[in-house]
Amino acid sequence: MHQRHLPASPNWYCSRCSDINGKGVLGFGAKNTIYLLNVTASSPAVTGELTGHTERVSGFAFCPHDGQERICASTSDDKTVKIWDAGQKILLKEHNVHQSTISAVHWSPVQKLLLVTGDEKGIVVCYWFSSNDTQSFFPEPRTIFCLSCSPHEENYIAVGYKDGMIVVIDISKKGEVIHRLRGHDDEIHALAWCPQPREEPLYGRSEDKTDGSNGVTEAAEMGCYLASGSRDQTVRIWSTARGKGVMTLKLPFLKRRGAGVDPVVKERLWLTVHWPKGQPSQIVSSCFGGEIIMWDLMKSGKQKWSLLGSSSDGQNHSRIVFNMSSFRSGDRELLLSTSMDREIKCWDLASLECCWTLPTLGGFVYCLSFSPVGTGCLALGIGDSMIRVWNTLSIQNQYDIKTFWQGIKSKVTALAWHPIKEGTLAFGTDDGKVGINEVYSNKPPQISSTYHHRTVYSLSWGPPVPPMSFADKPSYSLYSCAGEGVIFQHDPWKFSGEASNIDKLIRDTNNIKHKIPPHTDLSWKPDGSVLAIGNEDGSIEVLKAPMLKLLCTVQQHHKMINSLRWHHEHSPQNELQYLLASGSSNAIVYIHDLKSAIETPSEIPVLMTESFRTLSGHTNKITSLAWSPHHDGRLVTVCYDGTAQVWDVLKEEPVCNYRGHSGRLLCVQWSTVHPDLVWTGGDDFTLHEWAVSKQEHVTPPKSKKRAEMEKKRGPQKKSKKKKVAPEKGRMKAEERELPLGEEIKGAAEEGQSENDKEEEERENTDGPSVTGNGPSFLLLWYFVYIIFFILDLSLKKRKPRSILPLSTSMDHRPKEELQQDCLTLAAVRYSHGQSGTCVPGSGAHIQLGLFTDRDALYRMFQEEEESHVEAGHYDSMVYLRLWKGDLIGAITLAAEKGELTDHLLSLAPMAGYQVWARTVEAYVKQLCHHEQFLKAASHLVSIHKLYEAINLLKSHQLYREAIALARARLQPEDPVLKNLYMSWAAVLEKDGHYATAAKCYLAADSNFDAAKVIAKKGDVISLRTAANLAQISGESELAHSLSLRCAKDLMLFQDWAAAQEVLRTQDSLLGHRLVFSVNEILTQRLADTDVVTWSVASSHTWSKSCEENFLSMVHRVWQSEFGVAATDLVQVKMLHQQLRTVENPPATTSVPLKQLLFHISLDVTLCALSQLLCDWPSVLEELLQALTRGYEAGHFTLMAEMCQLLVTQGLESVTFYKQKLDSTDERSLVISQSVEALVCYQLMYKKWWNYSAETSALTNNTISNGHRLTEKNHSEVEANCNGEAQSDVIFSEGFWKVLLSEPHANLQATQRAIAEIQRRVTSLIQQHNPCKDTNASPQALSTSQSETSEDQGGSLSGKSSESLSTLTARVAEHHKALAAIPELVKKYPFPDVMECCIVLLHMEKHFSPFPPHIHSKATTLLCKYGTTELLCKSWKRLTQ
């Protein structure tokens, strides 16, 4: 489905989370998904995904048995084990025997279809896939980190634990421990068995030499070596025959090129080991900083290792390696490794060189951008705080990607290449940072000194605007738009300077007084002349550079604009460069044609409420858009529904739909090189490249498909949280990723910390429940009784705590000691202080301080205070200081400890005003800490800090109270009051409380914003209220637009009376009232036909259908109901000019009928006004537009009915109008010819169909489709055949001369020829593209070519040798011929002349013969201009 694919990053800190089978299929767990890759020595290719787990995948392994390579198993933190068929990508079986997090998995290489798993509680589960049986063992009460099944003994399993212990168990003996291998003192990260069954002698020091040998004996021949890698920085080789270690390999301290690594930091180490098949004397292990080393166990000397990728820089991983696996591809042994640096590498174990590197992604793909200078250079903004720049055209390395992380440190949410300076890339982040990176240098990025307050969503390079344009300006400025709704202009020459907010320039230039809505996106027209800005309220503002003069406002969306894009400028159709595509949160894409607003701007900005094209089909909010640079009007959109949709904008049709992602899509780019390739990225952490021509779907999925995609992403379980060990903690997908080079101390450097949390399933609550009978019920009542008894005791009155506890406790000693105190006190009092060692009020005599002098009392207070501090009784300490008279000290202490009270505050004035004010401020902070904001504000008011009190209430969202206080105490003109209202209104508007927000805006004299926020809901009542509010408050332009919008909504409901009532409130909408009246009359007339089938909610009596001429009735109603008549030509002319400015887009087949009738009504209104003005050329032109709309929309019945209403007498009516024209006015004559042709065209078909119906009815009383022709229909046919006044006209010579126009036949033939050649060019390109597919066989190519030829009906037979240059030359000739045709002929529509010729020749067989020269002319025109295959077939079929 896709060409190239960047998958999500493999999960970290798992003992076995990736594996490869013998067929070269690599699988690895990333988040809760398993990705599958086809691996060769030259390149990888992502082939699919396995989805089903609800939490992080913790392990993955392929079945190693021959013929079962497609079977694989995965484990997850959701405590399930799933068995998959990787070939068909389906789930085969699963079990959830484990009750704890699963940490290890392995297939038995010997025992067929045995899967072994281990969890953090120490449980080992054996699962036999074929029989679906399980068996659990509990060899050790330790946390399992890894396990490995023996490749030689089917019942032996080695298990590694967190504390460094390794055990070998025998599952045939109920999990009996065969060996306990002690030697490591930290986590066991990996275990690997030697592929050779016998224990050959090894070089090196044995850890238990008893006989001078190399650590093995002859009795050990039947054993097998086991290798282990541990966090203690050693790799150990164990003899399972003796149960002891035979070799210890200490990791070398390697210094990485380009960066120093501290080997002492054990937290940075994950030591995985792999023993390749066929190499029993060599082991591969990871090292400190991402290096991979090959150990030669048979090599003597100190250095037994060789470094992989040592020949050149950049081959090694830059961070620690987690998993390794190998397979044989031909005669080469290939090793696959995954790392914390988010890269998967393939190594040739013979040459120890890196074959290729596959980058992966550790976050959402927020943005994509192709360089306009560096061809094929694609920049990716990722949520893992890194920018990736991909040379997509690289031949040697199809994944040639450079990574940039310096200076970013947060999610990259926006990117923009400089338009002319190669390698200059601007980026924006989610913390509001804007920077510029030079991708072809090693310099750190420049960071703008101006930060946004929220996430940067859009960046764009454009011409500088004031104030920057007044200085020594650069050729381009950088514009950034962020979540707070502000657009900054940054000077790339002075990035450290202050950026300017363009809102000030917009306000000054356009004299805007009301609040500008928050901006959400911006897009400069490619030529830099016009800026489009999308807003939060769904409006789009189009501004002229450099002063940002407002040209027009587009009010089509009703929700926030997410993306704006201008059409490219290199189209041969010049008018396409004025197309602006917009996507918002309402799932609809609108295309706006801004040519008239840009080329002929009016003094007053135009309000546009009609789109040029409407693209609907997505089911969620649109996130990004991209025009194809290779096609005209080809657009791709991405959406939260998880799909990308390609549209043909001009035809308003879907082309294809891509559904390869498993999450929401966030960005899209069309390839700048290949016209068939599109790039998309989303929140599934993946980037896809896919071909438009290879998609099987055409439109986005419906709601059920949306539900399936949500299910595919996996449900998010509600879970409890628990603390986990730092080395096994898992962080959230977007939080666990750290940029390269970030140094964080300890375990946090690995993405973990002691406080990390992991999600866990809810505990199983199945078990016996308490019922109303038995001992459980009595026990429950006993507990309830005890609880109530304790509560009753707690409610009893307590004795207050003593403020002098130390001295009081001394009064509870034995009687002898109390009497001795009396003697001591007497001695102190009467010895005049000469009492020897006795110091009253301190130490053992503290109680005597109460009975002697003040100094003794103060000493007692001091010790009591120290006691209260130790006990935390600060209130008692404060009272003691108060009693001493130390008021300031008491207050200071209480403020420091947060123990201020109202009582202390009331005493503070005794120490002076300054002390009281400081005390109030401290008390306010204390109250805020306890969230007593109202009380805190009141205290601030007491010390005359009114503004601080208001800000306090405002900062804690207490807007109502803040406004009440400000209204009560501030002057009415104080700006703080207005700021309060505006801030509260913004919050209310965001929360959807539009009515209250409008009140705030009104109170702040922001009437414009009040009306807009009321209208934001979009229903009829809200729009009418908003229009009335705007009218009352003097915002006439806004009232005009809102009333018109409300009336259009009522028109869709056919509530004509209410629509006129709304328009009547605005004098400026008289012209639109005329349009609505014409629409109502037209709808009532068409209700008698098959055109209008809906019911009318309300209508006026003057619109009832009658026999009066349509235009005469319109004029009569205008005069009687609206006062518009030919007597007031000034008013009529003003109304005509007003309605001419209303946008009336061309009709298409997809326009709804109600909207089509409204557009026709506008044309008829203009025609009727021109008739009052006696402007006959305009009458005919507008009459032509009204008749043409039904023709262009493919609605023949509507066109015929409009001819019947507007041209009642047929050609005689047209002749009447022609007599009013100036015979020298060539333009008017051409228009009249087109009107005549359309009238004749529908008359021709009416005559033909009536004759066919009559003949069929008279012969077998049936019609062609098999339905019976009723008597009523038969009588209507006869009436039409016999009573038509125009029937004889059809056989006249003048009738056919109008239709058989040779200039128009020449024009139409030339246009058909150009279209035919373009189709051939497209066919040649489609045949050429599969030839570039290296995977396609010659048979497939020949088949596809033959199928293409058959699909084209042989149109290319005999012409396959035509080259592209030949076709291009022919197109140029036809364009030259097209240019020679008069512009007036090309400008106005005309029926298909060839079609009329064929119908004439067919009718001649059934009617009286036509004049010979008419027959001859029709035949000549067909021979000359009807050379296409389709016309020839139609000619033969109808004339035979």
pLDDT at 1336 over 70: no
Tokens of residue 253, six digits: 């301290």
Chain centroid to CA 1097: how far?
41
Separation of alpha carbons 907 and 916, rounded Å: 8
- H or E stretch covering 5: strand 2-6
DSSP assignment of 837-896 equals T--TTSGGGGGGGGTS-HHHHHHHHHHHHHHHHHHT-HHHHHHHHHHHT-HHHHHHHHHH
Tokens of residue 782, six digits: 């006993």
More confident residue, 767 or 460: 460
Separation of alpha carbons 1404 and 1293, rounded Å: 13
Give the pLDDT score at 1150: 85
Other beta carbons within 10 angstroms of residue 389's beta carbon come to 23
Separation of alpha carbons 115 and 101, rounded Å: 17
Give the pLDDT score at 707: 54
Q: Average pLDDT for residues 1209-1222, to the nearest whole number? A: 84
pLDDT level of residue 1438 (50, 70, 90 thresholds) = low
User: CB neighbours of 218 closer than 8 A, spacing ≥ 6?
Assistant: none
Q: Average pLDDT for residues 1302-1314, to the nearest whole number? A: 88
Closest by alpha carbon to 457, among 601, 540, 561?
561
Separation of alpha carbons 846 and 176, rounded Å: 70
SS (H, E, C) 1083-1108: HHHHCCCCCCCCCCCECCHHHCCCCC
pLDDT at 1387 over 90: no
Give the pLDDT score at 1160: 92
Q: What torsion, rounded to 10 degrees, do the Cα atoms 575, 578, 579, 585 define?
A: -170
Separation of alpha carbons 1391 and 1399, rounded Å: 12
Separation of alpha carbons 1310 and 1373, rounded Å: 10
Closest by alpha carbon to 732, among 683, 666, 686, 662?
683
When mean pLDDT is compared across 9-23, 888-902, 1158-1172, the lowest value belongs to: 888-902
pLDDT at 441 over 80: yes
Q: Average pLDDT for residues 544-572, to the nearest whole number? A: 93
pLDDT at 750 over 60: no
Separate counts of helices (H) and strands (E) for the chain: 37, 59
Give the pLDDT score at 1256: 53
Closest by alpha carbon to 1164, among 1207, 1222, 1121, 1120?
1207
Pairing of strands 549-554, 606-608: parallel
pLDDT level of residue 697 (50, 70, 90 thresholds) = very high
pTM of the model: 0.70
User: CB neighbours of 326 closer than 8 A, spacing ≥ 6?
Assistant: 20, 274, 276, 277, 284, 333, 334, 335, 336, 349
Q: Per-residue pLDDT tens for 289-333? A: 899 999 999 887 777 899 998 877 778 898 999 999 999 988 899
Closest by alpha carbon to 307, among 285, 332, 329, 322?
285
Q: Per-residue pLDDT tens for 983-1041? A: 999 999 888 899 999 999 999 999 999 999 999 888 999 999 999 999 998 888 899 99
Give the pLDDT score at 551: 95
CA dist list (Å): 1384 to 262, 810, 1219, 1300, 1378 = 81, 118, 20, 17, 12
Q: Average pLDDT for residues 198-202, to the nearest whole number? A: 79
- H or E stretch covering 922: helix 913-929
Query: Is 1079:1139 a contact under the CB 8 Å cutoff?
Result: no
Separation of alpha carbons 835 and 897, rounded Å: 39
When mean pLDDT is compared across 60-69, 423-432, 620-629, 843-852, the lowest value belongs to: 843-852
Q: Per-residue pLDDT tens for 566-611? A: 999 988 888 999 999 999 998 999 999 999 999 999 888 999 988 9
Give the pLDDT score at 225: 94
First vs last Cα of the chain: how many Å apart? 49
Give the pLDDT score at 1345: 44
Separation of alpha carbons 1013 and 988, rounded Å: 10
Give the pLDDT score at 12: 94
Separation of alpha carbons 160 and 187, rounded Å: 8
User: CB neighbours of 245 closer than 8 A, spacing ≥ 6?
Assistant: 181, 183, 207, 208, 236, 237, 238, 239
SS (H, E, C) 943-981: CCCHHHHHHHHHHCCCHHHHHHHHHHHCCCCCHHHHHHH
Packed helices 975-991 and 994-1003: angle between N→C axes, nearest 10 degrees: 170
